[in-house]
């Protein structure tokens, strides 16, 4: 629709895995491409949440150097995954002239402590340890609301793990509008992104859990930048089951096999019935896992190749970010002028 703005953000912490790719970055790419195909289509902004990366602060100079490197890698990874700076604005949260944090403050002044206190992210992340109960960790959902509202975004593509944050964002947008008697903020809609078939990609070594960078087990995830050899080794080690002569989709009974089939269906963008037909002739795990690994290796080939090209081209990465930060700042600055006007600043 006219005046629509799509916004989403990813943290610059750690390499992007198949779950992030199928559940976030590939949907981002297709949204960006569909938006570009429509004359006057929605504006698309993808952010790198480098301020959010500080909610779990790391100490010292070495940590600062790591964060700086991860921020560059995040840009290279977005481009590798098909985000096109001609079609989408790529910006750092910290690169938008303090405007995210200014709106964060405005929203903080309206955000009820009780609401924030009930959010599962706070219950999960404080971990019962008073030393970790820091204001930033408590308040970051308000920063996330500011990230979205500073662009007056109308659509936010995220996984279902983010639904509580989007609810808070809508709550704060409504509260701001009501408080200052204005209609400045649209209520952003959630565009749900799943994994393969709208579900989570699961850990290769423990299919009861989702694939996650925080699992602590390198064999449990495939990174989009893994070499073909690494991909093959991880798929070979994936946990499956004792039915070794036929391969079909049964997420309850055969979670490991079903996860691999789901990954194939997701990467090939075909229905599960098509994948089941394609693997129907395979009669042992060697052949099945070889097939799955081939599909992953091929599907990620363009990502790997683009990553190899961009990740060392620091000049190009810098130019993408400079342009993206400037474009995002222009939009956010106009919106913040309106916010200040409404508030009396
Ligand atoms: P992680 O769980 O590895 O820490 P994040 O929480 O940073 O990943 O998630 C980044 C994005 O990737 C989110 O939009 C999230 O919904 C999506 N995502 C993460 N893990 C998966 C998964 N296993 N399957 C599908 N989507 C996922
Ligand atoms: Na997570």
Going from N- to C-terminal start, the domains of the chain cover 5-198+313-343, 213-303
Per-residue pLDDT of the chain (345 residues; tens, 9 = 90+): 558 999 999 999 878 999 999 999 999 999 999 999 998 899 999 999 999 999 988 999 999 999 999 999 999 999 999 999 999 999 999 999 899 999 999 999 999 999 999 998 888 888 778 888 899 999 999 999 999 999 999 999 998 888 999 999 999 999 999 999 999 999 999 988 765 455 789 999 999 999 998 888 999 999 999 999 999 999 999 999 999 999 999 999 999 999 999 999 999 999 999 999 999 999 999 999 999 999 999 999 999 999 999 999 999 999 999 999 999 999 999 999 999 999 999
Which of these, 78, 80, 22, 17, lies nearest to 263 by C-alpha position?
22
Q: Whose CA is nearest to atom 16 of ligand 1?
A: 159
From first CA to last CA, the distance across the chain in angstroms is: 32
58 is catalytic: no
221 neighbors 213 (Cβ within 8 angstroms): yes
**Which residue is catalytic, options 58, 123, 210, 289?**
210
- Helix 285-299 with 301-310: angle, nearest 10 deg: 40
* Cα of 181 from ligand 1 centre, angstroms: 37
Q: Which of 19, 31, 157, 222 to mutate to test the pocket of ligand 1 (most atoms within 8 A of CB)?
A: 19
Question: In angstroms, what is the C-alpha Rg of the chain?
Answer: 21
- How much is the pLDDT for 15? 85
Convert the pLDDT of each residue in 111-165 to its tens digit: 999 999 999 888 888 877 888 889 999 999 999 999 999 999 999 999 888 899 9
- How much is the pLDDT for 216? 85
Coil, helix or strand for 243? coil
Which of these, 92, 98, 104, lies nearest to 168 by C-alpha position?
104
- How much is the pLDDT for 160? 82
- The CATH label, of 3.40.50.720, 3.40.50.620, 3.10.50.30, 3.90.1150.10, for the domain at 5-198+313-343 is 3.40.50.620
Q: Which residues line ligand 1 (CB under 6 A)?
A: 10-11, 19-20, 22-24, 158-159, 161, 195, 200-201, 210-214
- How much is the pLDDT for 129? 82
Pairwise CA distance, residues 28 & 71, whole Å:
19
* Cα of 94 from ligand 1 centre, angstroms: 22
Extract long-range pairs of 105-110: CB within 8 Å, 24+ residues apart.
Answer: 106/146, 106/176, 106/339, 106/343, 107/142, 107/145, 107/146, 107/149, 107/172, 107/176, 108/139, 108/142, 110/172, 110/175, 110/176, 110/179
Report the CATH fold assignment for 213-303. Tyrosyl-Transfer RNA Synthetase (1.10.240)
pTM over 0.80: yes
* Cα of 233 from ligand 2 centre, angstroms: 25
Bridge partners of residue 202, in order along the sequence: 210
Please tell me whether the interface predicted TM-score (ipTM) of this complex is above 0.90.
Answer: yes
**Which residue is catalytic, options 199, 200, 213, 289?**
213
Q: How far is CA 160 from CA 54, 199, 200, 264, 286, in A?
A: 23, 9, 9, 21, 35
* Cα of 202 from ligand 1 centre, angstroms: 11
- The tokens describing 182, both together, are 């204005």
123 is catalytic: no
Coil, helix or strand for 160? helix
Q: Which of 24, 26, 144, 158 to mutate to test the pocket of ligand 1 (most atoms within 8 A of CB)?
A: 24
92 neighbors 325 (Cβ within 8 angstroms): yes
Pairwise CA distance, residues 337 & 343, whole Å:
10
- How much is the pLDDT for 195? 52
């Amino acid at each position: 629709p006219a005046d629509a703005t799509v916004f989403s953000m990813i943290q610059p912490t750690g390499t992007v895995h198949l779950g992030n790719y199928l559940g976030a970055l590939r949907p981002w790419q297709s949204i960006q491409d569909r938006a570009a195909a429509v004359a006057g289509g929605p504006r698309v902004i993808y952010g790198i949440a480098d301020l959010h990366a500080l909610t779990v602060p790391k100490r010292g100079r070495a940590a600062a150097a790591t964060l700086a490197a991860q921020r560059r890698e995040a840009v290279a990874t977005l481009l590798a995954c098909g985000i096109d700076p001609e079609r989408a604005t790529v910006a750092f949260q910290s690169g938008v002239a303090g405007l995210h944090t200014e709106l964060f403050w405005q929203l903080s002044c309206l955000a009820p402590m009780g609401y924030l206190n009930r959010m599962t992210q706070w219950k999960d992340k404080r971990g019962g340890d008073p030393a970790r109960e820091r204001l930033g960790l408590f308040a970051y959902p308000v920063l996330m609301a500011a990230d979205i509202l500073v662009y007056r975004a109308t659509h936010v593509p995220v996984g279902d793990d983010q639904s509580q944050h989007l609810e808070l964002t809508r709550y704060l947008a409504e509260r701001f509008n009501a408080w200052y008697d204005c209609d400045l903020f649209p209520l952003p809609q959630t565009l749900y992104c799943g994994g393969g078939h709208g579900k989570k990609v699961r850990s290769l070594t423990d299919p009861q859990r989702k694939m996650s960078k925080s699992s602590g087990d390198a064999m449990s995830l495939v990174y989009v930048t893994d070499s073909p050899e690494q991909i093959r080794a991880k798929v070979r080690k994936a946990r499956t089951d004792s039915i070794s002569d036929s391969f079909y989709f049964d997420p309850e009974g055969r979670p490991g096999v079903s996860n691999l089939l789901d990954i194939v269906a997701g990467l090939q963008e075909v229905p599960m019935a098509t994948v089941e037909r394609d693997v129907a002739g395979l009669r042992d795990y060697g052949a099945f896992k070889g097939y799955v690994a081939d599909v992953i290796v091929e599907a990620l080939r363009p990502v790997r190749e683009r990553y190899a090209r961009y990740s060392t081209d620091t000049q190009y990465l810098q130019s993408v970010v400079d342009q993206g930060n400037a474009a995002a700042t222009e939009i956010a600055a106009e919106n913040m002028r309106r916010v200040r006007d409404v508030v009396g600043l």
